[in-house]
Amino acid sequence: KQEVTQIPAALSVPEGENLVLNCSFTDSAIYNLQWFRQDPGKGLTSLLLIQSSQREQTSGRLNASLDKSSGRSTLYIAASQPGDSATYLCASPAGQGGKLIFGQGTELSVKP
Amino acid sequence: DAGVTQSPTHLIKTRGQQVTLRCSPISGHKSVSWYQQVLGQGPQFIFQYYEKEERGRGNFPDRFSARQFPNYSSELNVNALLLGDSALYLCASSLSYEQYFGPGTRLTVT
C-alpha cells in the first residue's frame, strides 16, 4: 500500500533563497510522481510529473527529481519569490489506476 | 482551452440534507476523479470514473455516490450530510497519467 509523506509541514525562507521540498513514498514500484501547488482555498495546479523511467523534470525555476530506490522525490525551487508562497503537494498513483495518494503538503512562505 | 470547471463554488448545507456537486472535465478527457480535502490535509480519493464506468472507490461511506454522463461531465452526490463532510471537494480529469484539478467546491455543513 502506497503511503506518501512530506516533511516539514511548513517552511519559511527569505526571498532569493534556493530551497528543496521533500516527498517520501513507501512503494518503490511507482508509476509516476506528480507535484502540485495549492494556493489557500483554491484547487491544485500541476507543476511537474515525473514518470518512473525518468530521474528528473524541469520547468522554469522548478526541478523535480525521483529516486525510486530510496523512495524519495525532491522539488527544487531556485531563486524563490514571494509569489512562490503556497502549499506544495506531491502525489503518486496507487497502482495503474487514477487514484492518487497525496502527502500532507508543505506550506511554503517566502518573505520579501 | 478551458480547464476543469466545478460548480457551485461554495455551498452551505444543514446536517441531514443532500448535496450535488458538478464537474466538467477538460475537453477530450474521459476520466474524472473526485477528492475530498479537509483543512490542513492532502486530498483523499473518493471516486474515479472512466467512460461512464466506476473504476475506483475510496474509503468513503455509501452516502457518497457519483456518476459520469455521456459528455464525460460528472456529479458527486452526498446524502445525509454530517458536520464532518465539510471540506473542499476537488474534481480532476485526465487523458493519460497527469491529472488536472478544478478550483473545487467548498462545502460547509452546519
Contacts A36 to B, Cβ<8 Å: 101
pLDDT in tens, B16-38: 999 999 999 999 999 999 999 99
Instruction: Place A92 in a pLDDT band, splitting at 50, 70 and 90.
Output: very high
For range A92-106, the mean pLDDT:
86
Across all residues in chain B, what is the average pLDDT?
Answer: 95
pLDDT of residue B96: 84
CB-based contact, A76 to chain B, within 8 Å? no
Helices vs strands, H then E, count in chain A: 0, 11
Q: How confident is the model at residue B1 (pLDDT cuts 50, 70, 90)?
A: low
Q: What's the mean pLDDT in A75-92?
A: 97
Mean pLDDT score across all residues of chain A: 94
A101 vs B106: CB contact, 8 Å cut-off?
A: no
Average pLDDT over residues B65-79: 97
Confidence at residue B28, expressed as pLDDT on a 0 to 100 scale = 92
Dihedral over alpha carbons B66, B67, B73, B76 (to 10 degrees): -20
What residues are paired with B41 via a beta bridge? Answer: none
A42, A49, A106, B4, B100 from A10: Cα distances, Å: 18, 22, 5, 28, 24
Nearest CB neighbour to A49, from listed B90, B98, B102: B98
* Cis amide leading into B8 (omega within 30): yes
3-class DSSP state of A88: strand
How much is the pLDDT for B101? Answer: 96
The identity of residue A1, as a single letter, is: K
* pLDDT of the residue at A28: 84
pLDDT score recorded for residue A49 = 93
Q: Which of B104, B78, B98 is nearest to B31 (CA)?
A: B98
The whole-angstrom distance between B35's CA and the closest CA on chain A is 9
Question: Chain A partners of B47 at a C-beta cutoff of 8 Å?
Answer: none
Whose cell is 452551505? That residue is B12
- Please tell me the predicted confidence (pLDDT) of residue A6: 97
**Which residues make beta-bridge pairs with B44?**
B36
